[in-house]
Amino acid sequence: MENGDGSDASEQDWYISRTHGVYHIPGCAKGEPFALLIIKARGDALDLGDNRRFPFTITARQIAEDLLQDLHDHGIFICEGARPSSGELATATARREGFYQKLITEGDTMWARGHSFREISDLHRRAAMGLGVEREWAYVPMRMGDCPACGEKVKIGVAVCRHCSAILDEEKAAKHGLGAGAAATRLNANGAQSAEKKSRA
Domains of the chain by residue range:
3-84, 92-138, 153-200
Reading the chain (201 residues) residue by residue, the pLDDT tens digits are: 344 567 777 788 889 998 878 888 888 888 888 888 888 888 888 888 888 888 889 888 898 899 888 898 999 998 888 888 999 999 999 999 999 999 999 999 999 999 999 999 999 999 998 898 999 999 876 677 899 999 898 888 888 998 999 999 988 888 888 866 554 554 555 555 555 555 555
Global pTM value? 0.60
How far, in Å, CA of 169 to CA of 186, rounded? Answer: 18
How far, in Å, CA of 99 to CA of 101, rounded? Answer: 5
How far, in Å, CA of 35 to CA of 198, rounded? Answer: 62
76 sits in which H/E element: strand 76-78
Q: Cβ contacts of residue 128 below 8 Å, gap of 6+?
A: 100, 103, 104, 107, 134, 135, 137, 138
Positive or negative, the CA dihedral 38, 42, 47, 50 is negative
